[in-house]
């Protein structure tokens, strides 16, 4: 990872801070590792490790009911775990922003990641989630800020897909 790769994660963190995010649910993920570190180190953010991604939807519904803003960090393979819970966002009208690191795309080594990775955007859109995609580091923070704005201003569900080319392809290590 080069210095430029870290910079966009720190810019996303700044966008979370500017949006007054106070709770971040996450399933540990290498693509989000730096962002998770930044959230865990910040005393104004409660970073909550999850056992499964759908728990994050409920966590953020509760955060909103309690007067706090939050976001959910996950990998594209976790989107499938959220399908049933995403019905809550439309029915209950609360804002939800998910930052999704993509797998199963550019230079993927693991064929098990391809089916969900190739259908992540379509699955989210079928659940009435507004989907934005980031392929270039210079677009990351602005796209996250825009997704947060529309989610919190309209009580909508949004997702920002952080492409595999952006986060860097994982390599098989023997």
**Which pTM was predicted?**
0.91
- Give mean pLDDT, residues 77-99: 94
Where residue 34 falls among pLDDT bands split at 50, 70, 90? very high
Where residue 174 falls among pLDDT bands split at 50, 70, 90? low
Strand, coil or helix: 29: coil
State the angle between helix axes of 140-154 and 3-18 in degrees (0 to 180), rounded to the nearest 10: 20
Question: What is each CA distance from 155 to 10, 20, 133, in whole angstroms?
Answer: 26, 16, 20
With residue 113 as reference, give the H or E element that holds it.
none
Residue extents of the structural domains in the chain:
3-47+66-167
pLDDT in tens, 147-159: 999 999 999 999 9
Homologous superfamily, domain 3-47+66-167: Thiamin diphosphate (ThDP)-binding fold, Pyr/PP domains (3.40.50.970)
**Please, what is the average pLDDT of the chain?**
91
């Amino acid at each position: 990872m080069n210095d430029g790769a870290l910079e966009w994660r720190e810019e996303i963190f700044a966008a979370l801070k500017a949006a007054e995010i106070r709770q971040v649910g996450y399933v540990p993920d290498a693509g989000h590792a730096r962002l998770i570190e930044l959230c865990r180190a910040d005393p104004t953010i409660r970073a909550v490790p999850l056992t499964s991604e759908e728990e994050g939807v409920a966590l953020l519904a509760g955060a909103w009911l309690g007067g706090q803003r939050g976001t959910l960090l996950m990998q594209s393979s976790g989107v499938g775990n959220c399908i049933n819970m995403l019905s809550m966002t439309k029915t209950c009208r609360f804002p939800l922003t998910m930052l999704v690191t993509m797998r199963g795309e550019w230079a993927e080594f693991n064929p098990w990641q391809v089916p969900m990775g190739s259908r992540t955007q379509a699955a989210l859109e079928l659940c009435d989630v507004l989907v934005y995609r980031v392929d270039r580091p210079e677009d990351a923070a602005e796209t996250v800020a825009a997704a947060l704005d529309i989610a919190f201003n309209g009580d909508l569900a949004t997702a920002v897909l952080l492409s595999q080319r952006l986060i860097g392809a994982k390599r098989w290590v023997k």
